[in-house]
């Protein structure tokens, strides 16, 4: 149902790629890999099927691909050895791989480029775990994280979200291999081998995807099905993967919501789930994000296993990317908000559809605090460009450095603002569905999005609707800097679930260090609170700088450090570390197995403020635990050289 007739506006080139993707495009990519567990390398080949799309004088003479820290051994074009050069490495963008074509190709011509290569120890996309670092302790483990620009350290490729291709893969490994695609062989009913025998795993992704969605995980992995294809009329099946030791807990955490989220998202977007399979892989704790929307296979942090299903909204978020990000993608990282803003907007509509409007409101309230922190942070660091929704990147800048909640929360608030301005969900959801239908399969810019928005409402609302759109503060929303949104959106959030949390926080603030008043609190206070309400309570409390005595009471009464819920533990440690160093040691232990950057980065920074030696020595001692991406960010945050 892609609309090939959709005409996109001219795009500003992606600043983060060296590839000549405007001239030539990969239409299909085939990976033939062997996992070398001993040496911790992935090696083999990638074959690009390419098509010339640009008109160049004298025709196309070379292909330029992105690489970083790869060992390129041989290149063939249409089966014949080809000359290639690798340019000097840029610290973030890597090295351009220039491949000379044997003859020049005209627009419309197709050819194949085969590259023999191997990853190196510096590969930023791959996390390798020794057997001793896994739950089971018997087998090593491997997983990738390619967003934003790490795919180039795993695959010589056109590493830009502008280019999407189908892909297929054949991976040889002694341990089970999962890819962000549909498994062709071994068949889905076959149990996977862990007995040391090399097996060939074949996968196929028939929907076009950008390079950053090509993902791999391998290790002692088992599956548990949640629902089959055809169940309740679904065109997809869904389940969970993890190490055997964690499969029951993973299944329990997600089985109630996973299929419901996919079905509800299909209804809201007006388009069926395109990808055939929706599985969640629960990774080891070093995984640097909460979730990553790899196609067919969301990667998730084990910190979601709270034991009470209270953190499943992250799965709702990753499912929402199946439409926003994976189907309609941004054309460059400057427009990343189109992925995350729309996804966050849909995630919160799922909360409303499956739970209540108050859940949607609560989610916006928590988001608003995170947004305000990010905006303040960029204000202090003088990085005001990153406060913008559309980011004017500088040459060579790493999108990981701009990563924040701005695209998520400024983006989803902008969409909420438009929803309200245009007359509410009854009017806005049909628009969202038209957006999905118009741009499915494409990589678009903010201008494309806006042009369609205007076109849709011109057709479905006439001059009155257009007048409403004309009243929107476009420049302030899209390019505005500063610590506030152009419109105060908090007045629109349903605060009925947050109010109880605010009341409790006010009582704590009023109690101060008064022992008698503090003695009045009991764990009953929060007995009816969900995790999000506890988070709102703690975040409110954080603004009143409570005393070390009150912090100790807080811990004693509500046991946030014992509860095994990382979201509440994070906020508790933030409060505690703001009041002194009493919890520094305990926080330093807590971060040692929190690879998710949302948790480890702020805690390292907070420890660093009260106990700098401890922060640095803890990090240095455990640096090997973290994924290369997190390791780099923490090192930067602490000013430590590795
Ligand atoms: N796609 C992101 C993660 C990401 C973004 C990785 C940019 C690398 C670069 C993913 O969908 C995400 O947003 N994860 C969040 C989940 C949350 C907002 C519900 C996370 O990891 O915390
Ligand atoms: Zn996301």
- Which residue of the set 25, 243, 266, 318 is catalytic? 318
Question: Is 408 among the catalytic positions?
Answer: yes
Q: How confident is the model at residue 563 (pLDDT cuts 50, 70, 90)?
A: confident
Q: Give 164's strand partners.
A: 210
Q: Same domain for 348 and 409?
A: yes
What is the structure's pLDDT at 4? 53
Least confident segment among 144-153, 190-199, 302-311, 454-463: 190-199
pLDDT at 637 over 80: yes
- The answer to the question of residue 327 being in a domain is no
Q: How confident is the model at residue 1 (pLDDT cuts 50, 70, 90)?
A: very low
Write down the mean pLDDT value for the chain: 97
Phi/psi at 386 (nearest 5 deg)?
A: -80, 0
- The answer to the question of residue 132 being in a domain is no
- Give the whole-angstrom CA distance, residue 222 versus residue 224: 7
Q: What is the pTM of this model?
A: 0.98
Q: Same domain for 455 and 551?
A: no
pLDDT at 421 over 80: yes
Shortest-distance Cα residue to atom 1 of ligand 1 = 292
What are 523-541's pLDDT values in tens digits? 999 999 999 999 999 999 9
Q: Same domain for 189 and 144?
A: yes
Ligand nearest to the CA of 289: 1
pLDDT at 642 over 90: no
Q: Same domain for 245 and 276?
A: yes
Say what angle helices 336-354 and 258-269 make with each other, to 10 degrees.
Answer: 110
Region 137-144: what's the mean pLDDT? 98
- The answer to the question of residue 568 being in a domain is yes
Q: Same domain for 44 and 144?
A: yes
Tell me which residue range forms the domain holding 428: 332-492
Domain boundary among 154, 186, 215: 215
Task: Please answer whether residues 393 and 13 qualify as being in contact, where contact means their C-beta atoms are separated by less than 8 angstroms.
Answer: no
- Which residue of the set 289, 408, 456, 626 is catalytic? 408
- For residue 290, the CA-to-ligand 1 centroid distance in Å is 6
Q: Same domain for 238 and 364?
A: no
What are 280-320's pLDDT values in tens digits? 999 999 999 999 999 999 999 999 999 999 999 999 999 99
Q: Same domain for 634 and 597?
A: yes
- The SS3 call for residue 351 is helix
Please tell me the total number of residues recorded for the chain in this structure.
642
Region 205-214: what's the mean pLDDT? 98
Q: Same domain for 54 and 106?
A: yes
Q: Same domain for 152 and 108?
A: yes
Spatial CB neighbours of 318, under 8 Å, sequence gap ≥ 6: 280, 291, 292, 293, 298, 300
Q: Same domain for 385 and 429?
A: yes
- For residue 169, the CA-to-ligand 2 centroid distance in Å is 25
What are 216-243's pLDDT values in tens digits? 999 999 999 999 999 999 999 999 999 9
Pocket of ligand 1 (CB under 6 A): 147-148, 289-293, 314, 317-318, 321, 340, 403, 408, 598
Q: Which CATH number belongs to the domain containing residue 250 in this structure?
A: 3.30.2010.30
Closest approach atom of ligand 1 to CA 598 = 22
Ligand nearest to the CA of 398: 1
- The SS3 call for residue 205 is strand
- Give the whole-angstrom CA distance, residue 449 versus residue 147: 22
- For residue 212, the CA-to-ligand 2 centroid distance in Å is 13
What is the structure's pLDDT at 574? 98
Domain count, the chain: 4
Q: Which CATH number belongs to the domain containing residue 618 in this structure?
A: 1.25.40.320
Q: Which CATH number belongs to the domain containing residue 108 in this structure?
A: 2.60.40.1730
What are 568-610's pLDDT values in tens digits? 999 999 999 999 999 999 999 999 999 999 999 999 999 999 9
- Give the whole-angstrom CA distance, residue 250 versus residue 466: 48
What is the structure's pLDDT at 191? 83
- The answer to the question of residue 379 being in a domain is yes
Ligand nearest to the CA of 291: 1
Domain boundary among 322, 353, 380: 322
- Region for residue 329 given its phi and psi (left: phi exceeds 0; alpha: psi -120 to 50; beta: otherwise): beta
- The answer to the question of residue 520 being in a domain is no
What is the structure's pLDDT at 92? 96
Domain boundary among 215, 235, 270: 215
Q: Same domain for 370 and 434?
A: yes
Q: Same domain for 310 and 336?
A: no
What are 466-475's pLDDT values in tens digits? 999 999 999 9
Closest approach atom of ligand 1 to CA 336 = 7
CA-CA-CA-CA dihedral for 493, 498, 503, 509, to nearest 10: -90
- For residue 242, the CA-to-ligand 2 centroid distance in Å is 21
CA-CA-CA-CA dihedral for 536, 539, 543, 544, to nearest 10: 80
């Amino acid at each position: 149902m892609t609309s090939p007739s959709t005409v996109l506006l001219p795009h500003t080139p992606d600043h983060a790629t060296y590839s000549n993707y405007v001239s030539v495009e990969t239409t299909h990519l085939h990976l033939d890999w062997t996992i070398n567990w001993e040496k911790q390398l992935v090696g083999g080949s990638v074959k690009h099927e390419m098509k010339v799309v640009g008109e160049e004088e004298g025709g196309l003479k070379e292909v330029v691909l992105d690489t970083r820290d790869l060992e390129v051994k041989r290149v063939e074009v249409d089966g014949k050895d080809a000359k290639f050069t690798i340019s000097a490495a840029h610290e973030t963008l890597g090295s351009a791989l220039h491949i000379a074509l044997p003859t020049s190709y005209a627009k419309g011509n197709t050819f194949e480029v085969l590259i023999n290569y191997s990853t190196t120890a510096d590969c930023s996309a791959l996390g390798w775990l020794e057997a001793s670092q896994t739950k089971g302790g018997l087998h090593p483990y491997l997983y990738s994280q390619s967003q934003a620009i790490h795919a180039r350290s795993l695959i010589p490729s056109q590493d830009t979200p502008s280019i999407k291709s189908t892909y297929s893969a054949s991976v040889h490994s002694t341990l089970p291999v999962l890819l962000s695609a549909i498994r062709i062989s071994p068949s889905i009913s076959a149990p996977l081998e862990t007995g040391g025998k090399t097996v060939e795993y074949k996968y196929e992704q028939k929907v076009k995807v950008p390079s950053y969605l090509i993902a791999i995980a391998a290790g002692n992995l088992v599956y548990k099905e949640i629902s089959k294809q055809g169940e309740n009329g679904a065109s997809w099946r869904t389940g969970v993967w993890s190490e055997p030791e964690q499969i029951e807990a993973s299944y329990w955490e997600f089985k109630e919501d996973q299929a419901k989220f996919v079905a509800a998202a299909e209804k809201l977007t007006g388009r069926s789930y395109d990808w055939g399979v929706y599985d969640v892989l629960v990774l080891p704790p070093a995984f640097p994000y909460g979730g990553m929307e790899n196609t067919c296979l969301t990667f998730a942090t084990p910190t979601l296993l709270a034991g009470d299903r209270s953190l499943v909204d992250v799965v709702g978020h990753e499912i929402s990317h199946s439409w926003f990000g994976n189907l309609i993608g941004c054309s460059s990282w400057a427009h990343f908000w189109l992925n995350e803003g729309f996804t966050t907007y849909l995630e919160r509509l799922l909360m409303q559809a499956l739970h209540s409007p108050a859940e949607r409101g609560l989610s916006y309230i928590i988001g608003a605090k995170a947004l305000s922190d990010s905006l303040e942070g960029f204000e202090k660091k003088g990085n005001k460009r990153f406060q913008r929704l559309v980011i004017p990147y500088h040459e060579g800048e790493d999108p990981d450095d701009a990563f924040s909640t701005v695209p998520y929360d400024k983006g989803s608030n902008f969409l909420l603002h438009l929803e309200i301005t245009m007359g509410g969900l009854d009017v806005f959801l049909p628009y969202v569905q038209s957006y999905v239908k118009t741009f499915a399969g494409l990589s678009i810019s903010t201008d494309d999005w806006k042009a369609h928005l205007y076109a849709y409402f011109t057709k479905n609302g006439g001059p009155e609707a257009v007048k409403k759109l004309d009243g929107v503060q476009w420049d302030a929303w899209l390019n505005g800097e500063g610590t506030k949104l152009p419109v105060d959106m908090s007045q629109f959030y349903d605060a009925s679930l947050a109010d109880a949390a605010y009341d409790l926080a006010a009582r704590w603030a009023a109690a101060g260090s008064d022992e008698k008043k503090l003695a009045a609190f009991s764990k009953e206070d929060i007995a009816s609170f969900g995790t999000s309400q506890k988070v709102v309570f703690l975040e409110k409390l954080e603004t009143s700088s409570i005393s070390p005595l009150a912090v100790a009471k807080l811990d004693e009464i509500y046991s946030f450090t014992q509860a095994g819920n990382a979201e509440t533990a994070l906020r508790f440690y933030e409060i505690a570390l703001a009041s002194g160093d009493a919890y520094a040691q305990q926080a330093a232990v807590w971060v040692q197995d929190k690879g998710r950057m949302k948790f480890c980065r702020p805690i390292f920074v907070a420890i660093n403020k009260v106990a700098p030696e401890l922060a640095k020595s803890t990090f240095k001692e455990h640096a090997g635990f973290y994924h290369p991406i997190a390791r780099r960010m923490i090192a930067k945050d602490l000013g430590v050289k590795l």
